[in-house]
Amino acid sequence: MKHQSKLPNVGTTIFSVMSALANKHNAINLSQGFPNFKSDQKLIDLVSQAMNSGYNQYAPMPGSMELREAIANKMDLLYQSSYNPNSEITVTVGATQAIYTIISAFVRQNDEVIIFRPAYDCYEPAIEVNGGKTISIQLNAPHYKVDWEEVATHFSSKTKMIIINTPQNPSGSVFSEADMLALQKLTENSNCIVLSDEVYEHIIFDGLKHQSACKYPGLKSRSFITASFGKTFHNTGWKVGYCCAPKVLMDEFRKVHQFNVFSVNHPTQKALAIYLKEPNNYLELSGFFQAKRDLFLSLVKDSRFNFEPAKGTYFQVLDFSKITQENDVDFAKRLTIDNGIASIPLSVFNDNNKDDKVLRFCFAKTDDTIKQAAAIINTI
Ligand code: PMP
Ligand code: GLN
Protein backbone atom coordinates (compact mmCIF):
# COMPACT_ATOMS: atom_id res chain seq x y z
CA MET A 1 0.00 0.00 0.00
CA LYS A 2 1.28 3.46 -0.89
CA HIS A 3 0.45 6.62 0.94
CA GLN A 4 1.97 10.06 1.16
CA SER A 5 2.77 11.09 4.72
CA LYS A 6 0.97 14.19 5.95
CA LEU A 7 3.97 14.82 8.20
CA PRO A 8 6.98 13.70 6.14
CA ASN A 9 9.53 15.46 8.36
CA VAL A 10 8.22 14.27 11.72
CA GLY A 11 9.98 11.47 13.59
CA THR A 12 9.69 10.32 17.21
CA THR A 13 9.72 13.20 19.71
CA ILE A 14 13.02 14.06 21.35
CA PHE A 15 11.38 13.41 24.74
CA SER A 16 10.73 9.76 23.92
CA VAL A 17 14.13 9.39 22.26
CA MET A 18 16.11 10.79 25.21
CA SER A 19 14.05 9.04 27.90
CA ALA A 20 14.51 5.70 26.10
CA LEU A 21 18.27 6.33 25.82
CA ALA A 22 18.42 7.27 29.52
CA ASN A 23 16.60 4.06 30.47
CA LYS A 24 18.76 1.91 28.23
CA HIS A 25 21.97 3.28 29.75
CA ASN A 26 20.64 3.67 33.25
CA ALA A 27 21.42 7.38 33.16
CA ILE A 28 19.97 10.03 35.48
CA ASN A 29 17.08 11.31 33.42
CA LEU A 30 16.90 15.11 33.39
CA SER A 31 15.63 15.06 29.80
CA GLN A 32 11.85 14.61 29.49
CA GLY A 33 10.02 16.99 31.83
CA PHE A 34 8.39 15.06 34.65
CA PRO A 35 8.92 14.94 38.41
CA ASN A 36 10.54 11.89 40.00
CA PHE A 37 8.64 12.46 43.26
CA LYS A 38 5.08 11.57 44.11
CA SER A 39 2.19 13.97 43.94
CA ASP A 40 0.43 14.81 47.20
CA GLN A 41 -1.02 11.70 48.88
CA LYS A 42 -4.20 13.71 49.59
CA LEU A 43 -4.77 14.09 45.86
CA ILE A 44 -4.13 10.40 45.20
CA ASP A 45 -6.60 9.51 47.97
CA LEU A 46 -9.19 11.83 46.45
CA VAL A 47 -8.97 9.89 43.16
CA SER A 48 -9.54 6.57 44.99
CA GLN A 49 -12.46 8.10 46.85
CA ALA A 50 -13.98 9.32 43.57
CA MET A 51 -13.62 5.85 42.04
CA ASN A 52 -15.14 4.21 45.13
CA SER A 53 -17.99 6.72 45.08
CA GLY A 54 -18.91 5.62 41.58
CA TYR A 55 -17.49 8.33 39.33
CA ASN A 56 -16.43 5.74 36.79
CA GLN A 57 -18.65 6.55 33.81
CA TYR A 58 -18.37 9.30 31.24
CA ALA A 59 -17.87 12.79 32.58
CA PRO A 60 -19.90 15.56 30.93
CA MET A 61 -18.41 16.42 27.53
CA PRO A 62 -16.86 19.79 28.58
CA GLY A 63 -15.64 18.39 31.92
CA SER A 64 -16.98 17.89 35.43
CA MET A 65 -18.92 21.02 36.42
CA GLU A 66 -17.33 21.06 39.86
CA LEU A 67 -13.87 21.16 38.28
CA ARG A 68 -14.84 23.86 35.77
CA GLU A 69 -16.21 25.94 38.65
CA ALA A 70 -12.99 25.49 40.61
CA ILE A 71 -10.98 26.57 37.53
CA ALA A 72 -13.21 29.64 37.08
CA ASN A 73 -12.65 30.57 40.73
CA LYS A 74 -8.90 30.18 40.33
CA MET A 75 -8.82 32.43 37.24
CA ASP A 76 -10.81 35.01 39.16
CA LEU A 77 -8.60 34.82 42.25
CA LEU A 78 -5.27 34.94 40.40
CA TYR A 79 -6.02 37.17 37.43
CA GLN A 80 -9.32 38.88 38.32
CA SER A 81 -10.62 37.43 35.10
CA SER A 82 -14.02 35.88 34.83
CA TYR A 83 -14.78 32.82 32.69
CA ASN A 84 -18.20 31.21 32.59
CA PRO A 85 -17.73 27.57 33.65
CA ASN A 86 -20.69 26.58 31.52
CA SER A 87 -19.52 27.93 28.22
CA GLU A 88 -15.91 29.15 28.49
CA ILE A 89 -13.90 26.37 30.17
CA THR A 90 -13.29 22.84 28.83
CA VAL A 91 -11.34 20.05 30.53
CA THR A 92 -8.94 18.28 28.16
CA VAL A 93 -6.55 15.33 27.98
CA GLY A 94 -3.61 17.43 29.09
CA ALA A 95 -2.64 20.69 27.45
CA THR A 96 -1.48 18.71 24.42
CA GLN A 97 -5.02 17.80 23.42
CA ALA A 98 -6.25 21.33 24.06
CA ILE A 99 -3.54 22.69 21.77
CA TYR A 100 -4.21 20.13 19.04
CA THR A 101 -7.96 20.69 19.18
CA ILE A 102 -7.65 24.51 19.15
CA ILE A 103 -5.45 24.34 16.06
CA SER A 104 -7.76 21.82 14.33
CA ALA A 105 -10.83 23.90 15.07
CA PHE A 106 -9.46 27.08 13.50
CA VAL A 107 -6.53 26.56 11.15
CA ARG A 108 -7.37 25.91 7.50
CA GLN A 109 -5.29 25.23 4.40
CA ASN A 110 -2.60 27.91 3.96
CA ASP A 111 -3.49 29.84 7.11
CA GLU A 112 -0.36 31.19 8.75
CA VAL A 113 0.45 30.52 12.39
CA ILE A 114 3.30 32.39 14.09
CA ILE A 115 5.38 30.49 16.65
CA PHE A 116 8.47 31.52 18.57
CA ARG A 117 11.48 29.22 18.48
CA PRO A 118 12.82 27.31 20.33
CA ALA A 119 9.19 26.09 20.46
CA TYR A 120 7.62 23.23 22.36
CA ASP A 121 7.34 20.43 19.86
CA CYS A 122 3.59 19.81 19.60
CA TYR A 123 2.70 23.09 17.86
CA GLU A 124 4.17 22.71 14.40
CA PRO A 125 2.92 19.18 13.54
CA ALA A 126 -0.62 20.17 14.58
CA ILE A 127 -0.45 23.23 12.29
CA GLU A 128 0.88 21.19 9.38
CA VAL A 129 -1.48 18.25 9.65
CA ASN A 130 -4.30 20.79 9.35
CA GLY A 131 -2.75 22.34 6.22
CA GLY A 132 -1.53 25.52 7.91
CA LYS A 133 1.83 27.20 7.40
CA THR A 134 4.16 27.65 10.34
CA ILE A 135 5.85 31.05 10.44
CA SER A 136 8.81 30.71 12.78
CA ILE A 137 10.38 33.57 14.63
CA GLN A 138 13.71 32.52 16.01
CA LEU A 139 14.71 33.79 19.45
CA ASN A 140 18.31 33.73 20.55
CA ALA A 141 20.16 32.43 23.58
CA PRO A 142 20.71 33.39 26.30
CA HIS A 143 17.78 35.81 26.81
CA TYR A 144 15.30 34.64 24.14
CA LYS A 145 13.77 38.13 23.85
CA VAL A 146 11.06 38.85 21.28
CA ASP A 147 11.60 41.75 18.89
CA TRP A 148 8.00 42.84 18.30
CA GLU A 149 8.97 44.95 15.29
CA GLU A 150 10.28 41.79 13.67
CA VAL A 151 7.03 40.01 14.55
CA ALA A 152 5.07 42.85 12.90
CA THR A 153 6.88 42.21 9.62
CA HIS A 154 5.47 38.64 9.60
CA PHE A 155 1.97 39.63 10.71
CA SER A 156 -0.72 40.05 8.05
CA SER A 157 -4.34 39.24 7.23
CA LYS A 158 -3.10 35.67 6.59
CA THR A 159 -2.05 35.29 10.25
CA LYS A 160 -4.76 33.09 11.69
CA MET A 161 -3.06 32.46 15.00
CA ILE A 162 -0.07 33.36 17.17
CA ILE A 163 1.12 30.81 19.72
CA ILE A 164 2.88 32.13 22.79
CA ASN A 165 4.22 30.21 25.76
CA THR A 166 5.10 31.93 29.02
CA PRO A 167 6.92 30.76 31.15
CA GLN A 168 8.59 29.23 28.11
CA ASN A 169 9.64 25.66 27.55
CA PRO A 170 12.48 24.95 26.73
CA SER A 171 14.27 28.27 27.35
CA GLY A 172 12.96 29.10 30.84
CA SER A 173 12.31 32.71 29.74
CA VAL A 174 9.13 34.63 30.53
CA PHE A 175 7.10 37.37 28.83
CA SER A 176 6.97 40.77 30.55
CA GLU A 177 4.01 43.12 30.73
CA ALA A 178 5.62 45.05 27.85
CA ASP A 179 5.61 41.87 25.71
CA MET A 180 1.92 41.31 26.38
CA LEU A 181 1.08 44.94 25.59
CA ALA A 182 3.06 44.72 22.34
CA LEU A 183 1.15 41.55 21.39
CA GLN A 184 -2.14 43.22 22.28
CA LYS A 185 -1.29 46.21 20.09
CA LEU A 186 -0.12 44.05 17.20
CA THR A 187 -3.30 41.99 17.12
CA GLU A 188 -5.86 44.72 17.75
CA ASN A 189 -8.36 45.15 14.90
CA SER A 190 -7.32 41.77 13.46
CA ASN A 191 -9.02 38.37 13.41
CA CYS A 192 -5.93 36.68 14.78
CA ILE A 193 -6.47 34.11 17.56
CA VAL A 194 -3.88 33.91 20.33
CA LEU A 195 -3.08 30.50 21.76
CA SER A 196 -1.44 31.25 25.08
CA ASP A 197 0.20 28.10 26.41
CA GLU A 198 0.42 28.77 30.15
CA VAL A 199 1.16 25.29 31.50
CA TYR A 200 3.93 26.73 33.74
CA GLU A 201 1.80 29.61 35.10
CA HIS A 202 2.51 28.52 38.70
CA ILE A 203 6.26 28.03 38.23
CA ILE A 204 7.81 31.49 38.00
CA PHE A 205 10.77 32.79 39.97
CA ASP A 206 12.47 35.75 41.64
CA GLY A 207 9.23 37.56 42.35
CA LEU A 208 8.24 37.83 38.67
CA LYS A 209 4.51 37.83 37.95
CA HIS A 210 2.95 35.46 35.45
CA GLN A 211 1.54 37.40 32.52
CA SER A 212 -1.63 35.56 31.64
CA ALA A 213 -3.27 36.62 28.37
CA CYS A 214 -6.54 36.93 30.29
CA LYS A 215 -5.20 39.96 32.21
CA TYR A 216 -5.23 42.02 28.99
CA PRO A 217 -8.79 42.68 27.73
CA GLY A 218 -7.71 43.10 24.10
CA LEU A 219 -5.94 39.75 24.29
CA LYS A 220 -8.49 37.91 26.38
CA SER A 221 -11.18 38.44 23.76
CA ARG A 222 -9.09 36.56 21.15
CA SER A 223 -7.23 34.06 23.34
CA PHE A 224 -7.31 30.45 24.34
CA ILE A 225 -5.39 29.81 27.53
CA THR A 226 -4.11 26.25 27.96
CA ALA A 227 -3.12 24.70 31.27
CA SER A 228 -1.92 21.34 32.59
CA PHE A 229 -2.66 19.70 35.93
CA GLY A 230 0.19 17.30 35.14
CA LYS A 231 2.66 20.17 35.43
CA THR A 232 0.92 21.82 38.35
CA PHE A 233 0.30 18.82 40.60
CA HIS A 234 3.23 16.51 39.70
CA ASN A 235 1.24 13.87 37.85
CA THR A 236 2.08 14.21 34.16
CA GLY A 237 0.85 10.64 33.58
CA TRP A 238 -2.75 11.51 34.43
CA LYS A 239 -2.96 13.74 31.35
CA VAL A 240 -5.58 16.17 32.58
CA GLY A 241 -5.55 19.83 31.57
CA TYR A 242 -7.99 22.46 30.39
CA CYS A 243 -8.48 25.52 28.28
CA CYS A 244 -10.36 28.78 28.75
CA ALA A 245 -11.65 31.10 26.02
CA PRO A 246 -14.54 33.46 25.31
CA LYS A 247 -17.75 31.63 24.37
CA VAL A 248 -17.58 32.36 20.63
CA LEU A 249 -14.21 30.65 20.45
CA MET A 250 -15.06 27.87 22.90
CA ASP A 251 -18.21 26.93 20.94
CA GLU A 252 -16.01 26.10 17.95
CA PHE A 253 -13.48 24.28 20.14
CA ARG A 254 -16.18 22.01 21.55
CA LYS A 255 -17.45 21.08 18.11
CA VAL A 256 -14.10 19.37 17.55
CA HIS A 257 -13.43 18.30 21.14
CA GLN A 258 -16.62 16.23 21.37
CA PHE A 259 -15.47 14.07 18.45
CA ASN A 260 -11.81 14.16 19.33
CA VAL A 261 -12.06 12.72 22.87
CA PHE A 262 -15.66 13.48 23.94
CA SER A 263 -14.72 13.66 27.62
CA VAL A 264 -11.79 13.22 30.00
CA ASN A 265 -11.49 10.56 32.69
CA HIS A 266 -13.96 11.25 35.43
CA PRO A 267 -12.47 10.29 38.83
CA THR A 268 -9.34 12.43 38.43
CA GLN A 269 -11.56 15.39 37.53
CA LYS A 270 -13.58 14.89 40.72
CA ALA A 271 -10.38 14.74 42.77
CA LEU A 272 -8.80 17.75 41.08
CA ALA A 273 -11.97 19.79 41.65
CA ILE A 274 -11.62 19.35 45.42
CA TYR A 275 -7.85 19.79 45.45
CA LEU A 276 -7.93 22.97 43.34
CA LYS A 277 -10.21 24.68 45.85
CA GLU A 278 -7.22 25.09 48.19
CA PRO A 279 -5.08 27.88 46.64
CA ASN A 280 -1.99 26.93 48.63
CA ASN A 281 -1.82 23.74 46.59
CA TYR A 282 -0.64 25.81 43.63
CA LEU A 283 0.57 29.05 45.23
CA GLU A 284 3.47 27.26 46.92
CA LEU A 285 4.83 25.84 43.69
CA SER A 286 7.04 28.76 42.64
CA GLY A 287 8.91 28.70 45.96
CA PHE A 288 9.19 24.91 45.86
CA PHE A 289 10.72 24.87 42.37
CA GLN A 290 12.82 27.99 42.89
CA ALA A 291 14.56 26.19 45.76
CA LYS A 292 15.29 23.30 43.37
CA ARG A 293 16.59 25.63 40.65
CA ASP A 294 18.80 27.38 43.19
CA LEU A 295 20.12 24.10 44.58
CA PHE A 296 20.95 22.88 41.07
CA LEU A 297 22.65 26.14 40.04
CA SER A 298 24.61 26.50 43.27
CA LEU A 299 25.99 23.00 42.72
CA VAL A 300 26.97 23.50 39.04
CA LYS A 301 28.19 27.10 39.24
CA ASP A 302 31.86 26.07 39.07
CA SER A 303 31.34 23.57 36.25
CA ARG A 304 32.47 24.29 32.68
CA PHE A 305 28.84 25.04 31.70
CA ASN A 306 27.55 28.64 31.59
CA PHE A 307 24.00 29.67 32.39
CA GLU A 308 21.41 32.38 32.87
CA PRO A 309 19.08 31.28 35.70
CA ALA A 310 15.69 30.11 34.42
CA LYS A 311 12.96 32.68 35.14
CA GLY A 312 10.23 30.06 35.13
CA THR A 313 9.34 26.42 34.22
CA TYR A 314 11.23 23.51 35.76
CA PHE A 315 13.94 23.53 33.13
CA GLN A 316 17.42 25.03 33.24
CA VAL A 317 19.39 25.67 30.06
CA LEU A 318 23.16 25.13 30.28
CA ASP A 319 25.59 26.42 27.63
CA PHE A 320 28.37 23.98 26.75
CA SER A 321 30.25 26.06 24.18
CA LYS A 322 33.38 26.15 26.39
CA ILE A 323 33.44 22.34 26.54
CA THR A 324 33.05 21.14 22.95
CA GLN A 325 32.02 22.27 19.50
CA GLU A 326 30.19 19.01 18.67
CA ASN A 327 26.52 19.41 17.83
CA ASP A 328 24.10 19.45 20.73
CA VAL A 329 22.21 16.28 19.75
CA ASP A 330 25.45 14.25 19.58
CA PHE A 331 26.68 15.80 22.81
CA ALA A 332 23.41 15.08 24.66
CA LYS A 333 23.52 11.45 23.50
CA ARG A 334 27.19 11.09 24.44
CA LEU A 335 26.55 12.49 27.93
CA THR A 336 23.72 9.98 28.38
CA ILE A 337 25.75 6.99 27.23
CA ASP A 338 29.22 7.85 28.59
CA ASN A 339 28.50 10.07 31.60
CA GLY A 340 25.14 8.74 32.75
CA ILE A 341 23.16 11.99 32.52
CA ALA A 342 20.37 12.71 30.04
CA SER A 343 19.25 16.16 28.89
CA ILE A 344 17.44 17.66 25.89
CA PRO A 345 19.34 19.39 23.05
CA LEU A 346 17.63 22.68 22.14
CA SER A 347 18.41 22.65 18.41
CA VAL A 348 15.49 20.27 17.79
CA PHE A 349 13.11 23.11 18.72
CA ASN A 350 14.85 25.71 16.51
CA ASP A 351 14.49 26.94 12.97
CA ASN A 352 16.69 24.76 10.72
CA ASN A 353 18.01 23.10 13.87
CA LYS A 354 20.06 26.19 14.79
CA ASP A 355 22.57 24.97 17.33
CA ASP A 356 23.35 27.44 20.14
CA LYS A 357 25.32 24.77 22.04
CA VAL A 358 22.80 24.56 24.86
CA LEU A 359 21.11 21.66 26.65
CA ARG A 360 17.96 21.67 28.79
CA PHE A 361 18.01 19.96 32.19
CA CYS A 362 14.81 19.23 34.14
CA PHE A 363 15.16 20.02 37.85
CA ALA A 364 11.74 18.67 38.92
CA LYS A 365 13.63 16.00 40.83
CA THR A 366 14.32 15.04 44.43
CA ASP A 367 17.22 16.94 45.99
CA ASP A 368 19.18 13.68 46.02
CA THR A 369 18.79 13.27 42.26
CA ILE A 370 19.75 16.92 41.72
CA LYS A 371 22.91 16.40 43.80
CA GLN A 372 23.86 13.22 41.90
CA ALA A 373 23.23 14.96 38.57
CA ALA A 374 25.28 18.01 39.58
CA ALA A 375 28.16 15.79 40.67
CA ILE A 376 28.26 14.32 37.15
CA ILE A 377 27.92 17.74 35.49
CA ASN A 378 30.94 18.95 37.46
CA THR A 379 33.10 16.19 35.92
CA ILE A 380 32.24 17.10 32.30
N1 PMP B 1 2.98 22.92 26.54
C2 PMP B 1 4.20 22.95 27.09
C3 PMP B 1 5.01 24.18 26.94
C4 PMP B 1 4.67 21.84 27.79
O5 PMP B 1 5.89 21.88 28.33
C6 PMP B 1 3.87 20.71 27.91
C7 PMP B 1 4.36 19.51 28.66
N8 PMP B 1 3.77 19.52 29.89
C9 PMP B 1 2.60 20.72 27.32
C10 PMP B 1 2.19 21.84 26.63
C11 PMP B 1 1.68 19.54 27.37
O12 PMP B 1 1.10 19.38 28.61
P13 PMP B 1 0.33 18.03 29.01
O14 PMP B 1 1.36 17.11 29.54
O15 PMP B 1 -0.66 18.47 30.03
O16 PMP B 1 -0.30 17.51 27.77
N1 GLN C 1 6.47 18.63 28.45
C2 GLN C 1 7.51 17.65 28.63
C3 GLN C 1 8.86 18.28 28.36
O4 GLN C 1 8.97 19.37 27.87
C5 GLN C 1 7.42 16.46 27.75
C6 GLN C 1 6.11 15.92 27.41
C7 GLN C 1 6.27 14.83 26.40
O8 GLN C 1 7.06 13.92 26.59
N9 GLN C 1 5.60 14.94 25.32
O10 GLN C 1 9.84 17.64 28.62
3-state secondary structure at position 301: coil
- pLDDT by 10s per residue, the chain, length 380: 899 999 998 999 999 999 999 999 999 999 999 999 999 999 999 999 999 999 999 999 999 999 999 999 999 999 999 999 999 999 999 999 999 999 999 999 999 999 999 999 999 999 999 999 999 999 999 999 999 999 999 999 999 999 999 999 999 999 999 999 999 999 999 999 999 999 999 999 999 999 999 999 999 999 999 999 999 999 999 999 999 999 999 999 999 999 999 999 999 999 999 999 999 999 999 999 999 999 999 999 999 999 999 999 999 999 999 999 999 999 999 999 999 999 999 999 999 999 999 999 999 999 999 999 999 999 99
Q: Is 13 in the pocket of ligand 2 (CB under 6 A)?
A: yes
Please name which ligand lies nearest the alpha carbon of 98: 1
Residue 138 corresponds to which amino acid?
Q
CA of 240 from ligand 1 middle (Å) equals 10
Mean pLDDT over the full length of the chain? 97
How far is the CA of 140 from the CAs of 84, 134, 189, 282, 346, in angstroms?
39, 18, 30, 31, 11
Q: Is 173 in the pocket of ligand 2 (CB under 6 A)?
A: no
* Spatial distance between the Cα atoms of 262 and 31, rounded to a whole number of angstroms: 32
Q: Using alpha carbons, select from 208, 210, 212, 213 the residue that is nearest to residue 309.
A: 208
As beta bridge partners, residue 162 has 114, 194
Q: Using alpha carbons, select from 238, 210, 275 the residue that is nearest to residue 92.
A: 238
Q: Is 33 in the pocket of ligand 2 (CB under 6 A)?
A: yes
* Spatial distance between the Cα atoms of 292 and 298, rounded to a whole number of angstroms: 10
Q: Which listed CATH number (3.40.50.1820, 3.10.28.10, 3.90.1150.10, 3.40.50.150) goes with 14-32+284-377?
A: 3.90.1150.10
Q: Please check whether residue 364 is in contact with residue 310, taking contact to mean a CB–CB distance below 8 angstroms.
A: no
**pTM for the full model?**
0.97
Q: Using alpha carbons, select from 311, 347, 351 the residue that is nearest to residue 330.
A: 347
CA of 79 from ligand 1 middle (Å) equals 21
What fold is seen in the domain 41-281?
Aspartate Aminotransferase; domain 2 (3.40.640)
* Spatial distance between the Cα atoms of 127 and 67, rounded to a whole number of angstroms: 29
Q: Using alpha carbons, select from 147, 157, 160, 146 the residue that is nearest to residue 114.
A: 160
Domain locations in the chain as residue ranges: 14-32+284-377, 41-281
How far is the CA of 270 from the CAs of 52, 168, 227, 364, in angstroms?
12, 29, 17, 26
Atom of ligand 1 nearest to the CA of 165: 3
CA torsion, points 372, 373, 376, 377, in degrees to nearest 10? Answer: -140
Q: Please check whether residue 364 is in contact with residue 316, taking contact to mean a CB–CB distance below 8 angstroms.
A: no
Residue 98 buriedness (CB in 10 A; 0-12 / 13-18 / 19+): buried
CA of 52 from ligand 2 middle (Å) equals 31
* Spatial distance between the Cα atoms of 71 and 37, rounded to a whole number of angstroms: 25
Q: Using alpha carbons, select from 305, 314, 302, 299 the residue that is nearest to residue 362.
A: 314
* Spatial distance between the Cα atoms of 148 and 246, rounded to a whole number of angstroms: 25
Q: Best of 120, 123, 224, 349 to mutate for ligand 1, by most ligand atoms within 8 A of CB?
A: 120
